[in-house]
Structure 1
Amino acid sequence: MEKEQVREWMSLRSRKMVRDAPSTMLFLFASIIILCRPNSAQPLDFFCPENTIVYDSNSSFAANLNRLLISLASNTAASDGFYNTSVGSDSDQVYGLALCRGDVTADVCQNCVNTASQGILQECQNKQEAIIWYEFCQLRYSYWKFFSMMVYAGKFPKWNEREQNVTNPDEYSNIWDNLMRNLISQTESDRRMFATGEVISISKTEKIYGLMQCTRDIIRDECGNCLRNGVGDIQRGPFSRRGGMVLGTSCNLRYEPYLFYNGSSASPTPNGNYFTERKAWTVAIFISVPICVLLFLSGFYAYYIRGRKGRETPTDEQRIDDIPLQQIIGVSTSFDFPEKDMQDGNQMSSSELPLMDFDAIKVATDNFSDSNKLGQGGFGTVYKGILPNGKEVAVKRLSRKSWQGVEEFKNEIILIAKLQHRNLVRLLGCGIQGDEKLLVYDFMPNISLDSFIFDPIRRSQLDWRTYFSIIGGIARGLLYLHEDSRLKIIHRDLKPSNVLLDHDMTAKISDFGMAGSFVKIKMQLILEELLGHSNGYMAPEYAMEGLFSVKSDVFSFGVILLEIISGKRNSGFYRTEHAQTLLAFAWRLWVEGKCLEFADAVMLMDTTNTRWKAEVMRFIHIGLLCVQEDAADRP
């Protein structure tokens, strides 16, 4: 009897296990999904400037920051999705701003800002300046008053990598352009500087939903400029994908093939076949990620055990110094670069920068003839070259006294190749033969900024909007070098002759790579090289004591800004009766309330822009802030 009861119990148990198996598997699968699913509270992106001062957790600044974040979380939702304020005074004062997406409810807004207040402290621990973006809001704080100052520095979060490529690029491009233009116009005119819209192609195979928004502390013209910069970055970036976003300090934009802006805090729900594709893709990821992680850990463990037995780990210095120059720039063993690439002037990736045939470059420049000479600076002479296919290039023949050999040149190539930005001159390749070293760049048909701002005839050919764009381009390029590039670069020789202009008058900073390798050159040579060529642009602490920082570049930027507005050189102005220097003259007029007298009359002839007075006054103000004698006082 007992045996029969046992058998019956085991039979029931087996049937129960079979019956419960699907539930068990479902539970395990759900657990895997929960573990692998992206956390909805994760930020889209964040930025903590490396050069920002770190504050003490027990300081007054920390206390003021906590009060500020509490204030932002409680007031943003109540202020129609935008709120900026400051807490504290003097050096401990903290400025903050929060912006919620214009289509979300007040509850979603408040919850998002609360999350951002916690997230920004975790991601940017003890930084005196930071910004963080979430899907429904963004939050920023700083030790300086950044309100009403639009400096565009668009960021592309990982979100941009998720979409599939478009099937009909030409048709997609047309409707995308129309949507972007309409949204910029709507955002500029909207009370909250927020707009959404959709567009569908004639064939009805492509549909795009878009959203744009600006922070409400900037003026409408700057909102439009910020968004146009973002659109331009999209076109030069992941434009072939069906969706994307650009996050900025003053504006954001996003577009998708599905409706994502309905005011709900739920995750976006795509429609039609696209949803099926995304769902299948998501399930595949959830299943494959755990398996891949296990395989990776197993392989890594085996590799680690084997590696410890048979191999020593080289130091960082060994790893860098042992890399041959040919390997760094993507050439197998020979210094001779393939003729086809030299003829076509192909640009390769930064890790495959072409080493061009030295003799071919000599031919392109007519053996470095004086007739092809474009200019000369402390780092060498620049020549115009024409490749066999007709492509124009600029060839910098580096000064031999500024370099110590192949190693410095190799480091220079590594540095420059890693810096890619639309406001920096693009490096196409390099050449080397004995002590001769060459850098080959894109040719800039409008030469340099100084050829326009100091020439009365050429200066009159440009209006204020063009100068406005040039100033913004210099600022964006400098911001990239200081904060957004993989390597923090201090230019140290920023001046109008080092700001080149392409056929569209887009500003592109040059010689930014030259500055990087000056670390290895004696200070006496630095001053010997730079004082002779950059008098008037060097910050006082750099010229007198050899001390340089990002604030040294800020000083140079301020001088350039004031020179653009006035049309006068800082280095020669002391000979006039107005003031000892151009900077002193600008400051005197500012104090007397006559700052518009500082602006060149030719520049102010643009009657199509009704805001030129306010913009010129603001730029003079920024210029004066940048050229303050004490580096700590500069923005």
Structure 2
Amino acid sequence: MAVIMKVVVFLLVLAVLMAPFPAAADIFCDNVKVVADALPKNTSASAVHFATSTVGQAPNVVYAMSFCRGDIVNDTACAECVASTFARIFRETPPELECYRDASYFVDCPVFYSGDNDTLAPFSATDEQEPFERWNINVITGDDAGRIVGLIRELLVQTVQRAASAAPLRFATGTMDSGTNFPMVYSLAQCTPDLSAGDCLACLQRLVGKINATMALRMGAQIHVMRCYFRYEAYVFYDGQPMLRINGSLSPAPTPEPTTTPTKRKSKLWVIPVVAVPLLAAASLCFVFYSPCFKRYRRKGKATRAGSRRTQDEDELVLDGKNSDFSVFDFEQILDATDNFAEENKLGQGGFGAVYKGHFPDGLEIAIKRLASHSGQGFTEFRNEVQLIAKLQHRNLVRLLGCCSQEDEKILVYEYLPNKSLDFFIFDQDKRALLDWSKLLAIIEGIAHGLLYLQKHSRLRVIHRDLKPSNILLDGEMNPKISDFGLAKIFSSNNTEGNTTRRVVGTYGYMAPEYASEGIFSIKSDVFSFGVVVLEILSGKRNSGSHQCGDFINLIGYAWQLWEEGRWADLVDASLVPKSHSVEMMRCINIALLCVQENAVDRPTMADVVALLSSETMVLAEPKQPAYFNVRVGNEETSITGTDSCSINDVTISVTTPR
């Protein structure tokens, strides 16, 4: 008995001695969570979108740093971007670890934290930190390969020099036109703003030195260390006009002076979008610029018809327009960009006209919407709405570049997005295989952030009313951008609900029940649509249509049945292999079912949705029986819709009277 007692005492002592170790680990991870909560706000509040943080006491102190890519000028977008990076770090932490002791994540908004302050020490010329490298798998070939490689190197050299000299941001972008059929090449370089010009240049030059004779043939690369990085690609991957341009003779073309602060880095020809901003409002936008188009581009001696009828209000709006992110283009510029609307440049046919791909001389790829007819709406009705939409800025929203109005031509110019719309991928068994779970989750999160911006962070509340996969476009890196604001409703910041006495517009399969039956819409209407889209992304099935889902005739009912029976994994498309990310997938289904609740009051807000998506520990409510539990919901649209097999987007346009 004495021996047993000694063993018990020994074990108790051992347990007491070992107890501090897991507790210490918990304290460090708790400090990491404090950093993750504070750093997004601190970074976005900084004039240069850069912040450091120290939390806790030794030996559990956490040193952290984050910054936003220089073209992310919006404070809200910067905060969301940093928060998203932390969410990725936590998501990719192995289940057996509560958190990493050191973490580095190189994305648009890099985040670094460590328990060792020396890890985040300022750069020095002798720094031997091993760079993170990611290379484009495509290779430059052909007789001009050597010349193009030389042009790219010259582009990178000038870009890093421009970044190093650009105080205080230490950020620059560029583009190169080889003068051949080779695509335009785009470059970006950035250092943390706390580096001197000399240290920034030394840091970037060391990274550029990684491009040896073999790797120089690659068509793109990203190379990072903690304090600096650069990237180049044969497609546009940043917002804003390039700060420098290289032509085929290796001589830089005249470029704007480097910018100094985020608030001044406004671009007139960028931050542009693709086939989907307020098409009703967009048609009016051309009227907004009607007089400038004629005044600037018609031949001398011809009367300016609109000019003679302009009111004082119109003069004020035109003046505002000159200072906005919209541009007024000459019709000749549009003809040159599209090769006279050549058939081979036609991307598709929408409800209000054809869409063409075009190129401006500076290499900017654009999508041009040639309206088939005037909208018929007056100037006054849409003036305030157009000015608002022109100022919407978020990485997950598609934006309009400008317009041209000349004689009977009414033309809208958008950013060209190469990967079409979300439905093109998720409903095609072969193409959805190109999207792994991490990319699909990033798309879901991106859509949520875009809706949150519309509902909370833009100047007025914007209710989209037609959110669906075909209205979510994908850029070159498969980042989602919400498009087509033709049916959007806009409210003052203290309003949350509206009602239409005219016919309901939108697509029934994505329409909240209170809107479909009573014409009542609110911010919760878009939450419902978001829930449907998430279920479609996860399952690869359409909510509406002729296909039955198990014993049910719509996807919502099928998802609810599986959830009730504990067989939620059967909802997930087989290509995603639920076993590897089962917890995340189950949470997404839970969130989606909360979004499609029958009563709007039971649905979460988009702020709630974003928080739930970014956390693995927040407790989720149990969903109730959803709307349309066992009702056929067709995919009919209550408005004119034009689609084409090669269309980059199906555009839904209301033909009701003005809002």
TM-score of the superposition, structure 2-length normalised?
0.46
Structure with the larger RCO, 1 or 2 (CA within 8 Å, 6+ apart): 2
TM-score of the superposition, structure 1-length normalised?
0.48
Whose radius of gyration is greater, 1 or 2?
1
